[in-house]
Structure 1
Amino acid sequence: MDLTPKETKSELSQSKTTEQRLKFFMQDVTGRALVMMENATQGQQGIAMDLVQEAFISLHKSYADKAIDEWYPLFYTILNNKLQDWRRKEARRAQPFSLFKKISLDDDSEEILEIEDQQQLNPFDTLDQAVTIEEIQQAIRQLPVRQQQAFMLRAWEGFDTQTTAQIMNCSEGSVKTHYHRAIQGLRTALAHLNPHIGGSSHEE
């Protein structure tokens, strides 16, 4: 499964038909999208695949005429919405008497840290070569879902803070906070594997 950040889109742009462009787009993004959904659903591969496939179908149905560059944020916005819908259904299934109660899933209302926007982070830059993809993925899976999303969208997909906020339907301050805490959480979770990482940073 491809966990590397997306490369240049020049190859995608060379395709002429919508089907060809969509095929290249799916090949480019599917691996990372599946990883994100598997993490968010605690390893439920079937659910993750369904969410990604549904997002592709919706993208093709509603935005087939858009440019390749526009597909990336659109796709992840659709995928985020489908994930949130699934999480709400799961929460209601776990709380059968909450039909008329508002289900709150996200922690965007938590205290927003006054921190500068952090530079793009390649997850492999600060980790020892001995740390495996599986160990990194397991550490990401332990993070709260919104921290997972902020980290994956910024570090793997390369979206800036503004675009990530639009995809996640939250403020830029929330994205910065989620991303900052995700990095701290990953450093803490993986510190025993690489003593050079050190503890969490204090950038508040």
Structure 2
Amino acid sequence: MDLNPKSSHSENLSALKSTAEQRLKNFMQEVTGRALVMMESATQGQHGIAMDLVQEAFISLHKSYADKATEEWYPLFYTILNNKLQDWRRKEARRAQPFSWFKKISLDDDDVEQLDIVDEQALNPAEFLDQAVTVEEIQAAIAGLPVRQQQAFMLRAWEGFDTQTTAQIMNCTEGSVKTHYHRAIQALRNSLAHMNPYLGGSSE
């Protein structure tokens, strides 16, 4: 009885699994830092919660989409991460409001579309940098934004997703993404202007 075909099949499966795990490891190394910054801002600096959300998203990605191409992982990962963040926010809102199960909890009070907003090009975060503005100050300014504005800015400016993909990740309309992103840019420029004269303020 020839066992070679079975052995070969088993070896192929093992090789595919090893390749997928290596791809995931490389992917995690690339996106973990940015994803953590996003989640720490969204959870108001709770590093442990942010780490848990990111790790859970990686586990779900590997469990459900290990066979997808690496390029497809980027929007899939951030969609999973956004869903886990929204679940966490709902639990926190219910914990803060003991009888909240009797009513629908709105997490997106700022989710109002302004359809006349032109789709803005994704900014390079470096535009906010000069000698007077540090990365820490930018991160603090981002953390002060409403969560949906944080997400729109981070996904568009930091991750480079277009409006359509960002809308799919955030589970909202493209008009909402445009609104959140526009408001985030304006708020960041206003909050950082006093430190950076190139943003319209004074460094004095």
TM-score by length of structure 2 reads 0.87
What residue identity is the alignment partner of 2:96?
A: A
Residue 107 of structure 1, CA deviation: 3.3
Question: What residue number does 1:196 align with?
Answer: 198
Identify the match of residue 95 of structure 1 among 94, 97, 103: 97
Distance change >3 Å, CA 197–CA 110, structure 1 → 2: same
What residue identity is the alignment partner of 2:90?
A: R
> What is the aligned residue count?
184
- Alpha-carbon displacement from aligned partner over 1:143-200 (angstroms, at most 9, x marks no partner): 000000000001000000000000000000100110011000000000110122027x
More divergent stretch after superposition (108-117 vs 62-71): 108-117
Identity %, equivalent residues: 84
Residue 99 of structure 1, CA deviation: 1.7
Where in structure 2 are there 5+ consecutive unaligned residues?
A: 1-17
In the aligned structure 1, how far is the partner of 2:105 from the partner of 2:95? 11
SS in 2 for 1:71: helix
In the aligned structure 1, how far is the partner of 2:71 from the partner of 2:198? 37
Question: What residue number does 2:182 align with?
Answer: 180
Residue 109 of structure 1, CA deviation: 4.2
Identify the match of residue 44 of structure 1 among 43, 46, 54: 46
In the aligned structure 2, how far is the partner of 1:146 from the partner of 1:126? 20
In the aligned structure 1, how far is the partner of 2:186 from the partner of 2:176? 15
Where in structure 1 are there 5+ consecutive unaligned residues?
A: 1-15, 200-204
Residue 88 of structure 1, CA deviation: 0.3
CA RMSD after TM alignment:
1.3
Distance change >3 Å, CA 111–CA 119, structure 1 → 2: closer
Please list, as runs of the form range in 1=range in 2, the aligned pairs for 1:6-45 lying within 5 A after superposition.
Answer: 17-45=19-47
SS in 2 for 1:17: helix
What residue identity is the alignment partner of 1:119?
A: Q
In the aligned structure 2, how far is the partner of 1:68 from the partner of 1:108? 33
Identify the match of residue 66 of structure 2 among 64, 67, 82: 64
In the aligned structure 2, how far is the partner of 1:109 from the partner of 1:182? 12
Residue 127 of structure 1, CA deviation: 3.2
Do the aligned partners of 2:142 and 2:150 also contact (CA within 8 Å) in 1?
yes
Identify the match of residue 130 of structure 1 among 128, 132, 141: 132
Do the aligned partners of 1:108 and 1:170 also contact (CA within 8 Å) in 2?
no
What residue identity is the alignment partner of 1:59?
A: L
- Alpha-carbon displacement from aligned partner over 1:88-144 (angstroms, at most 9, x marks no partner): 000000000112211110136424241211112012124323311110000000000
Question: What residue number does 2:165 align with?
Answer: 163
In the aligned structure 1, how far is the partner of 2:184 from the partner of 2:115? 13
In the aligned structure 2, how far is the partner of 1:141 from the partner of 1:91? 18
Task: Please say which structure displays the higher CA radius of gyration.
Answer: 2
TM-score by length of structure 1 reads 0.87
